Amino acid sequence: MREVLLLKLGEIILKGLNRNKFERQLINNINRRLSFIGAYKVTCMQSTVYVEPENGSDIGAAIEAVSKIFGIVSICRAARCEKNLDDIIKTAVEYLGGILSRAETFKVEARRADKTFPLKSPEIAKTVGGALHKAYPGLKVNVDAPQILVKVEIRDKYAFVHANPLPGAGGLPVGINGAAALLLSGGIDSPVAGYMMAKRGLKLHAVHFHSYPYTSERAKQKVIDLAKTLTAYTGDIKLSVVPFTRIQEEIRANCREDMFTLVMRRFMMRIAERIALSDNCGALVTGESLGQVASQTMEALGVTGGVCSLPVLRPLIGMDKEDIVLISRKIDTYEISIRPYEDCCTVFTPKHPKTKPRPYDAESQEARLDVVALIEEALANTELLNIEREDLI
């Protein structure tokens, strides 16, 4: 008997002729994540990824790592045994004894991927179930809602026994759908937006706008910490920290107050797009939610997004704040986001921002600025950081 992990794939199995490409990306992501914690053999067969610890590596640490890898829908901590009924029963009785001895109800399900095995799936389940009931006479069968769901899988080389699988992160492997630039503020919304798009297979390049001395070094560190936390799900993240002070001061000195935020956002979108294109990103990602603040009305979103040629992905656009907060707590970014260090979006906030602007309103204000020179200066002084998962281990 040897303990292994069986990682079950989600929508990857529906990918037809492209499926091998998705599986290879997932295997690469798993291997990279596990390389920081130990030695593991990773293989993929029959819509399942097998993770086998080597040289005494910790299987519990592997479970924690793979639980945040997109592309996996469930994680089974299993015992591997020979493909004969006696060994399967012996393994089930011994391996699952700890949880079965404390349970009241159970059910056994079997899957016979190897059709040469002499018993069919219902017969395997019935036989193993009878043996478990005999070994643990206090157990009762409950086919509808068992406390312990025992599974027996008969595969090409071995049989596997496990119970009560853990949920995986779902989604698609990071990197399979290309890359995007995430406008990462220090708030609650943008890290959640990055998480959601990484779940759809996007590699992220985060872009943060820093307005020192109006925003402190602690505000910058907060964003670095957010990026580090996201890497548990996304893998390594490039973080471009853009100096934004001069642009905001020029906007304050030359533009109407009610247009401050909109003109500022248009600068952000232009700069983020330049960074995105330089790193082969195919889209921008923002944490905007329709109507949440004045700069996120439908008209305002049209004006700010209108300066971009790349698609602007807004995964939170129809979500309530409460929904966004729930996800931020789940991914451990909430407590970082609420640290009391302001980001640049709170600097020079107008008392009465324009909520239904037209493109001309922003263009007429930008005509008072040397937009090209300001963007080039900001890009020339942008700091690039590489945020890596191993920083957290």
Question: Could you give the CA distance from residue 7 to residue 72 in angstroms, rounded to a whole number?
Answer: 6
Give the Cα-Cα-Cα angle 390, 240, 270 (nearest 5 degrees).
145
Query: 77: which 2 tokens?
Result: 């901590």
The helix/strand/coil state of 3 is strand
Q: Please report, for the domain that includes residue 21, its CATH number.
A: 3.30.2130.30
If asked whether residues 226 and 298 sit together in one domain, one would say yes
Whether residues 102 and 203 fall in one domain? no
Global pTM reads 0.91
Cβ burial, residue 149 (10 Å; 0-12/13-18/19+): middle
Cα dihedral across residues 152, 165, 315, 218: positive or negative: negative
Single residue among 128, 148, 170 that ends a domain in this structure: 170
- pLDDT of residue 392 exceeding 50, the answer is no
Torsion angle, alpha carbons of 9, 70, 280, 366, to 10: 140
- pLDDT beyond 60 at 17: yes
Q: Which of 170, 194, 218 is the last residue of a domain?
A: 170
Same domain, 257 and 371: yes
Which structural domain, as residue segments, surrounds residue 271?
Answer: 179-392
> Are both 228 and 345 inside the same structural domain?
yes
- 382's tokens: 């942008």
Quote the crossing angle between the two packed helices 189-198 and 217-234, to the nearest 10°.
20
- 294 and 364 housed in the same domain: yes
pLDDT at 15 over 90: no
Residue 253 three-state SS: helix
Task: Give the tokens for residue 296.
Answer: 């996120």
Pair 217, 320 in one domain: yes
Q: CB-based burial of residue 259 (10 Å sphere; 0-12 exposed, 13-18 middle, 19+ buried)?
A: buried
Q: What order do you get walking across the sheet with 312-313 strand by strand?
A: 312-313, 284-285, 179-183, 203-210, 237-243, 383-387
Neighbouring-strand partners of residue 182? 206, 285
Q: Which residue among 104, 136, 170 closes a domain?
A: 170
Whether 154 and 193 share a structural domain: no
360-390, pLDDT tens digit by residue?
Answer: 999 999 999 999 999 999 999 999 999 986 5
- The span from the CA of 389 to the CA of 393, in Å, is 7
- The backbone region for 44, taken as left when phi is positive above 0, alpha when psi lies in -120 to 50, beta otherwise, is beta
pLDDT band, very low/low/confident/very high, at 124 (cuts 50, 70, 90):
very high
Tell me: pLDDT of 303 over 90. Answer: yes
Q: What is the mean pLDDT of residues 272-287?
A: 98
Res 14: pLDDT: 85
Q: Looking at the 3D structure of the chain, how many domains does it have?
A: 2
Q: Are residues 116 and 221 in the same domain?
A: no
pLDDT tens for 37-77 read 999 999 998 889 999 999 999 999 999 999 999 999 999 99
211 with 327, same domain? yes
Q: Are residues 34 and 129 in the same domain?
A: yes
Report the CATH number that the domain containing residue 267 is assigned in CATH: 3.40.50.620
pLDDT tens, position by position, 176-195? 999 999 999 989 999 999 99
Asked whether residue 183 falls in the same domain as residue 115, the answer is no
The answer on 91 and 30 residing in a single domain is: yes
